[in-house]
Structure 1
């Protein structure tokens, strides 16, 4: 029996932002973990925000993980969350990271100001935690559960290991929980488009095109090849294959939903056209001259939000019956 052909989409195909983001986070984090004397440059206090020579620490501290455990789990999560870049595109994915970077930083500074009253000098080292945790909102809402099972009454699925790694980061230090809550809260507000947040920090298309032609040409990954790939013989290989199949399932679900919406719109349009044609034939068969609709009926339907041309056409089909004309217009 021939082995099934599978599309090998492991790696960073169509995810250049994730490919660049991982070394940007990993390199300074490794330097920081092996050189403890540099730690003061990756944290800040309230006084540093007003010091023009130290305010840059607000940026530097967001690009690292302060512990090796955080670094390992964080890089794995960034690699997993690259599925959102494949789904939304690199420009939208980068715009989301930029938005979370700015919004989470502002919220973290607000928390620092509030908590400063209970401490003499409180230092803040948020790291990349809040931005990373904001992705769990997308992960929870958009990624379906597969291969669900129950162990001692506790449900487990293919998403459980990702949640476990997130909890490992959250509870490693008490402050990590504060930064994680900031990220999750901003992720929820962004998804709800609170005060139009989704349009605040979008990257312009001209900038995205320029970066794609310059830096993108260097970091772009070659298209995957179709491989004769048997089922993995180890748990790690099987888990990786399930993640890749999950990405394909998400893309197929998104495409199917788009096709269903288009089919529904087309079907309603055809039904309305059939009703119009039927009404025209009925009027012709009756042989009676069509009376022009009263102006008050036209105004009544226009005030409901319909255009005058559509109102006149609908009234002519249903012999100036306002109720039937309303039903006909609502079907469009």
Structure 2
């Protein structure tokens, strides 16, 4: 089990979010402001420091939280590859907004002036655990002494470490994130059909960030999305590339392998690539549209 091919191929929004979160977290630490971050009753209801609340959504306040948070954000790029950048951008906005409102509601109910919630993108991270639990199957199991683990265990352990890092200060944002992910899963207000304009995702695709080393993850070849239907039609025929013309997306088999690693069925991925003239992005959209109409 992994997040697909290493790096940020077909996951430009995740890359931008991860880099932004990392930069803001490091700058906050260098400037000595990290311990001032976090949502609190006093800042929101008395001082109304909205700029501080916004910064707290993206910046982690400690190095361990930054390490585990960045790792989980990197792994969960698999969901952007599955549903596409346009829908994943909506998922990010929805998760952050619902989680933020949930935290504000809890602070308003508790009215504890001494409570300051942990800063960082807890909403996005823990909302991602909902599709991680429901959609990604276990491919391998291992037994250590009398304990049984799966290839998903390390992701759960990293999330548990982040959730319990500061007890109540971190548990509340984590629970609000799980709530946001559950509401998205339930398709509240048909949110799962919403997409941001294509120009926005194109902006992230063309955005150039400093080079980031790939984070190595446990390898697996298990299909994480199940079989996709064939794109057969009495009138539709595969649109093969002209003979002798090489696609800019690389060889057909390499493209098929990339889509399979993202969770698509081998035969469906190959057929979609033939229709898309070996354009991986277009083939991904074809597969996702077919999945949405199942």
Deviation at 1:95, TM superposition (A): 0.7
Deviation at 1:126, TM superposition (A): 3.8
Instruction: Kindly indicate whether the alpha-carbon contact (under 8 Å) linking 1:134 and 1:183 is maintained by their aligned counterparts in 2.
Output: yes
Which residue, 73, 81, 99 being the options, matches 1:104? Answer: 99
Please tell me whether Structure 1 or Structure 2 has the larger radius of gyration of its CA atoms: 1
TM-score by length of 1: 0.61
Matched, 1:178 2:172: yes
Separation in 1 of the partners of 2:105 and 2:119?
13
Instruction: Kindly indicate whether the alpha-carbon contact (under 8 Å) linking 2:12 and 2:205 is maintained by their aligned counterparts in 1.
Output: yes
Which residue, 257, 273, 280 being the options, matches 2:228? Answer: 257
Q: 1:198 to 1:52 in 2, by over 3 A?
A: farther
Which residue, 75, 79, 98 being the options, matches 2:74? Answer: 79
Q: 1:257 to 1:43 in 2, by over 3 A?
A: same
Alignment-derived partner of residue 210 in structure 1 = 199
SS in structure 2 at match of 1:123: coil
Q: How many residues align?
A: 226
Matched, 1:14 2:10: yes
Separation in 2 of the partners of 1:87 and 1:160?
21
Matched, 1:88 2:83: yes
Q: 1:105 to 1:53 in 2, by over 3 A?
A: closer
Deviation at 1:38, TM superposition (A): 5.4
Q: 1:137 to 1:120 in 2, by over 3 A?
A: closer
Separation in 1 of the partners of 2:73 and 2:178?
16
Deviation at 1:177, TM superposition (A): 1.1
TM-score by length of 2: 0.68
SS in structure 1 at match of 2:143: strand
Deviation at 1:195, TM superposition (A): 5.1
Higher relative contact order (CA 8 A, sep 6+): 2
Deviation at 1:194, TM superposition (A): 3.8
Deviations 1:209-238 (A, max 9, x none): 223444422349xxxxxxxxxxxxxxx97x
Instruction: Kindly indicate whether the alpha-carbon contact (under 8 Å) linking 1:16 and 1:219 is maintained by their aligned counterparts in 2.
Output: no
Deviation at 1:198, TM superposition (A): 3.8
Instruction: Kindly indicate whether the alpha-carbon contact (under 8 Å) linking 2:92 and 2:124 is maintained by their aligned counterparts in 1.
Output: yes
Tell me, which stretches of 5 or more residues in structure 1 are unaligned? 1-7, 221-235, 267-332
Q: How does 1:232-271 map to 2 (within 5 A)?
A: 240-242=218-220, 245-246=221-222, 249-250=223-224, 253=226, 256-259=227-230
Q: How does 1:130-279 map to 2 (within 5 A)?
A: 130-174=123-167, 175-194=169-188, 196-198=190-192, 202-205=194-197, 209-219=198-208, 240-242=218-220, 245-246=221-222, 249-250=223-224, 253=226, 256-259=227-230
Alignment-derived partner of residue 328 in structure 1 = none
> How large is the RMSD of aligned CA atoms in angstroms?
2.9
Instruction: Kindly indicate whether the alpha-carbon contact (under 8 Å) linking 1:19 and 1:219 is maintained by their aligned counterparts in 2.
Output: no
Separation in 1 of the partners of 2:188 and 2:124?
18
Separation in 1 of the partners of 2:69 and 2:89?
17
Q: 1:149 to 1:37 in 2, by over 3 A?
A: closer
More helix by share: 1
Separation in 1 of the partners of 2:63 and 2:196?
36
